[in-house]
């Protein structure tokens, strides 16, 4: 079994144990193991082959019991414990857990009361009206479940881009190492940075296409080979989506990469443009005349050659959506190399984080950041620890004392503070004014009407101590629908009150999304791109930068792409009446 399959097995075990009502520490152990294996740089099978059970036992957070289970999965290709749990609890309940609003307790309740064992039966139950009459549910809850089911159906064939990253990069690295491809890249929506991806599209140039296709079919991520020809192959992967590879001659590579990157709407618009120029464009290149590749080749080797032939500047993949990129482009599109700080960082002072303040600050410095903001939770919802009005002074002292131990990086002391249902903040102004950086976020009451939610948010953003509106639509990609919000009113309020809009880079959120990034950039609204990191390995802004690029965000409106002095000046203006 691959790391992806092992990670999924541990995640399934954790969910099934939660439905059973098992000890929460036991559940958390499997959840943590799932995350550890998914992120581990080496395949468990290779680790076990070189060092046996002892090598598996040395992985942080993986004790002897879990190591033995991993050993069985890589040697026997099975997980006996998971199989046992699935005999006790219907496996279809795992799919129900992915529906927003259906936690372990509710899932267990419907299984026992109505024999609901899969998503289709849940949908049928909601439509009968029986559930809305049950104590603890009601019409509003059922309507929310139906809404979540509709979202689930709409995206059932796609995965969040972050979920794909490890698989995509591992496959690309393995194919590159074969040296059978002169050039190889992943195209499609993955290259364009869409928040969800339906499949992986590999494009390669090679003088040995047969051998390269064979190497592709032998990758450990392969579940089933669906179609294989002389230059193309389609396979089902262990993560539940398809991967395609197309192998072309070296001189055709640029055209194939450009065509396969898309989007379809962009390609159609470009095709119309080329026809007006007396040219034709397809996956083989740009040709003279309007009869395809039978005419004289104008360009095909590189994407730059393609754009030159079309009399266009190079258009970055993230912008190829036919939303105006053929007419004009952003002047200084944000890039990952521009980022100088991370302004949304959690530590073990918040109970949902896994690294101490010292570990987080050191990791940020190692990442190359010049400054960060530690922003532990201030909330009444599910966080056992965190920042309170009573603890804020001690919290500030602790973070400042810890920061002094790590030279070479500036640390701001802040908090991510809940916007409560009535629009007030969890911390009073007397506590907020002691903090350098205040992120206001919605973490509850997600189903308020658009009118009430907008009123709630605007009230919070009017607080003079709020510096950032965190993950503004409170969404989880493919898991929780965005809140209903008048974004134009939000843009007006943030501009008036000097509040930054967060582009949350966690691949679970990606909030603002590309559409709202575009709306924000059109008004010149100031933003920050943050990791929302909860452990020292999560300082990754790449997905957030991709969303920002897709939304035409330029460097000058991203505050944490600026030098520390600029950030300090902005804060001074913000706090000056």
The interaxial angle of helices 3-20 and 24-39, nearest 10 deg, is 170
Residues 6 or more apart whose Cβ sits within 8 Å of residue 524:
557
DSSP code, position 483: P
- Which H/E stretch holds residue 410? strand 410-418
In three-state secondary structure terms, 441 is strand
List, in order of start, the domains of the chain with CATH numbers. 3-154 (1.10.150.110), 160-319 (3.30.460.10), 336-575 (3.20.20.140)
Give the span between the Cα atoms of 107 and 99, in whole angstroms.
10
Average pLDDT over residues 207-232: 94
Other beta carbons within 10 angstroms of residue 149's beta carbon come to: 21
Mean of the per-residue pLDDT values for the chain?
92
Cβ-count burial 312-326 (b if 16+ within 10 Å, e if not): eeebbbbbbbbbebb
Question: pLDDT tens, 497-514?
Answer: 999 999 999 999 999 999
Question: pLDDT tens, 399-418?
Answer: 999 999 999 999 999 999 99
Question: pLDDT tens, 79-106?
Answer: 989 989 988 888 788 888 878 778 888 8
Output phi, psi for 511, to 5 deg: -140, 110
Other beta carbons within 10 angstroms of residue 44's beta carbon come to: 24
- Model pLDDT, residue 8: 85
Cβ-count burial 482-516 (b if 16+ within 10 Å, e if not): bbebbbeebbebbeebbbbbbbbbbbbbbbbbbeb
Give the span between the Cα atoms of 538 and 530, in whole angstroms.
11
The full DSSP string for 82-94 is HHHHHHHS-TTHH
Average pLDDT over residues 32-47: 84
- Model pLDDT, residue 136: 84
Give the span between the Cα atoms of 86 and 50, in whole angstroms.
32
- Model pLDDT, residue 293: 58
Residue 490 scores a pLDDT above 60: yes
What is the maximum alpha-carbon separation in the chain? Answer: 77
Residue 22 pLDDT grade (very low, low, confident, very high; cuts 50, 70, 90): confident
- Return the percentage of the chain with pLDDT > 70, whole number: 97
Average pLDDT over residues 279-303: 87
- From residue 189, alpha-carbon distances to 174, 319, 506 in Å are 21, 11, 18
Burial class (CB in 10 A: 0-12, 13-18, 19+), 178: middle
- Model pLDDT, residue 575: 87
Question: pLDDT tens, 117-162?
Answer: 988 899 889 888 888 888 888 888 888 888 888 777 666 678 899 9
Give the span between the Cα atoms of 312 and 397, in whole angstroms.
55
The radius of gyration of the chain's CA atoms, rounded to the nearest angstrom, is 26
Average pLDDT over residues 529-534: 96
Give the span between the Cα atoms of 472 and 488, in whole angstroms.
12
Strand partners, 469: 440, 501
Pick 47 or 549 by higher pLDDT: 549
Closest of 549, 522, 143 to residue 337, by C-alpha: 549
Residue 384 pLDDT grade (very low, low, confident, very high; cuts 50, 70, 90): very low
Asked if residues 254 and 306 have their Cβ atoms less than 8 Å apart, the reply is yes
Asked if residues 106 and 138 have their Cβ atoms less than 8 Å apart, the reply is no
- Specify the residue for token string 């794909």: 164
């Amino acid at each position: 079994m691959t790391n992806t399959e092992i990670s999924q097995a541990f995640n399934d075990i954790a969910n099934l144990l939660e439905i059973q009502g098992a000890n929460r520490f036991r559940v958390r152990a499997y959840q943590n193991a799932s995350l550890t294996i998914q992120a581990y740089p080496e395949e468990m099978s290779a680790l076990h082959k070189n060092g046996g059970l002892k090598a598996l036992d040395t992985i942080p957070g993986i004790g002897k019991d879990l190591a033995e289970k991993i050993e069985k999965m890589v040697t026997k290709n099975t997980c006996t414990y998971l199989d046992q749990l699935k005999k006790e609890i219907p496996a279809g309940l795992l799919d129900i857990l992915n529906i927003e609003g259906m936690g372990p307790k509710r899932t267990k309740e419907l299984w026992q009361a109505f024999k609901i064992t899969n998503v289709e039966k849940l949908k049928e139950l909601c439509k009968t009206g029986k559930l809305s009459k049950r104590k603890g549910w009601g019409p509003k809850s059922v309507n929310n479940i139906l809404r979540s089911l509709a979202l689930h159906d709409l995206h059932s064939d796609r995965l969040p881009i972050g979920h794909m990253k490890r698989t995509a990069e591992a496959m690309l690295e393995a194919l590159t190492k074969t040296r059978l491809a002169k050039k190889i890249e992943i195209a499609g929506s993955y290259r364009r940075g869409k928040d969800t991806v339906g499949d992986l599209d590999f494009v390669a140039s090679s003088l040995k296409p047969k051998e390269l296709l064979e190497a592709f079919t032998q990758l450990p991520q392969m579940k089933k080979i669906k179609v294989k020809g002389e230059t193309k192959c389609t396979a089902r992967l262990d993560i539940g989506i398809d991967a395609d590879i197309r192998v072309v001659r070296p001189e055709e590579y640029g055209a194939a990469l450009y065509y396969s990157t898309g989007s379809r709407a962009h390609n159609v618009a470009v095709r119309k443009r080329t026809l007006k120029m007396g040219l034709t464009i397809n996956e083989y290149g740009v040709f003279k005349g309007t009869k395809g590749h039978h005419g004289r080749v104008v360009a095909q080797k590189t994407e730059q050659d393609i754009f030159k032939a079309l009399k266009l500047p190079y258009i970055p993949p993230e912008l190829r959506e036919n939303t105006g990129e053929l007419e004009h482009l952003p002047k200084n599109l944000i890039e990952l190399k521009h980022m100088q700080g991370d302004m949304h960082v959690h530590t073990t002072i918040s109970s949902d984080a896994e690294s101490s303040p010292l570990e987080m600050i050191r990791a940020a410095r190692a990442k190359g950041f010049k400054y960060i903001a530690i922003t532990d939770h201030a909330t009444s919802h599910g966080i056992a620890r965190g920042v309170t009005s009573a603890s804020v002074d001690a919290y500030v002292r602790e973070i400042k004392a810890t920061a002094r131990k790590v030279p070479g990086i500036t640390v701001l002391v802040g908090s991510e503070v809940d916007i409560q249902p009535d629009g007030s903040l969890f911390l009073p102004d007397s506590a907020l004014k002691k903090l350098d950086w205040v992120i206001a976020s919605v973490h509850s009451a997600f189903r308020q009407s658009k009118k009430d939610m907008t009123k709630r948010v605007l009230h919070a953003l009017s607080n003079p101590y709020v510096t950032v509106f965190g993950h503004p639509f409170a969404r989880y990609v493919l898991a929780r629908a965005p809140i209903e919000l008048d974004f134009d009113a939000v843009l007006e309020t943030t501009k008036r009150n000097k509040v930054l809009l967060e582009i949350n880079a966690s691949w679970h959120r990606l909030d603002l999304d590309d559409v709202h990034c575009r709306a924000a950039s059109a008004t010149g609204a100031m933003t920050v791109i943050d990791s929302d990191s909860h452990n020292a390995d999560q300082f990754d802004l790449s997905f957030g930068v991709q969303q920002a690029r897709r939304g035409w965000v330029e460097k000058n409106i991203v505050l944490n792409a600026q030098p520390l002095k600029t950030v300090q000046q902005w804060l001074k203006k913000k706090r000056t009446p």
